[in-house]
Amino acid sequence: MLAVNLLPWRAQQLLLRRQHSVALLVVVLLVTLLLTLLLWWRAEQRLQQAARQHTAMTMQLQQIQQRLAHQQTLMAQRDDLLRRQQAQQQRLQQHQRWQQFWQQLPALMPETLWLSRLERRQGQLVLDGLAQSLADVSAFRQQLQTQPLFAAVKQGSVQRQAQGDYRFALRARLQEATDE
């Protein structure tokens, strides 16, 4: 029989298997590394996209907040203008009521009644004058009571003068105590 030394062949086979195993291990490690890099890259892309979306949403939120602040400013200005317009309208109506009253005053007075003083102060209109009779003073007071400007008309002092006339004072409390 022939003696054959198989040791180098076995060593060569073992070396080939080791090289094969190392190559397989390197391939598996490279594939794992590539997959890890791919997953990391996709996560980074998603993170950047989320950051861009966050930035865009933050900018939109700031724009909305600016618009809201501007709208609130405009609404405050509108409310202020409405208040001023209402106040102006009330002053105009009050002025018209007073103008109408001053125009009607001679017709409200009996012919035998004369006014010597009119004074407006502290929500009242004080009327001083002379009348030939107490009935004239009472009639004038009743006429004033029908005017929409006055809440109440009270008779003040009445004094008989030496000439026979009556000096009187009436106090008409105003409906609205506004300054003209």
Rounded-to-integer distance, Cα 56 and Cα 62, Å: 10
Q: Calculate the dihedral angle through the C-alpha atoms of 154, 160, 161, 162, rounding to the nearest 10 degrees.
A: 180
pLDDT at 179: 46
CATH topology classification for 109-174 = Gyrase A; domain 2 (3.30.1360)
pLDDT surpasses 60 at 177 = no
pLDDT at 87: 96
Mean of pLDDT over the chain: 92
pLDDT at 176: 67
Instruction: Grade residue 180 by pLDDT with cuts at 50, 70 and 90.
Output: very low
Q: Give the tokens for residue 6.
A: 């198989």
Q: With a threshold of 0.85, does the pTM exceed it?
A: no
DSSP 8-state class, residue 148:
T
pLDDT surpasses 60 at 112 = yes
pLDDT at 119: 93
Instruction: Grade residue 1 by pLDDT with cuts at 50, 70 and 90.
Output: low
Rounded-to-integer distance, Cα 141 and Cα 147, Å: 10
The per-residue pLDDT for range 17-30, each reduced to its tens digit, is 999 999 999 999 99
The per-residue pLDDT for range 134-174, each reduced to its tens digit, is 999 999 999 999 998 899 999 988 999 888 899 999 999 99
Overall average pLDDT of the 32-58 stretch? 97
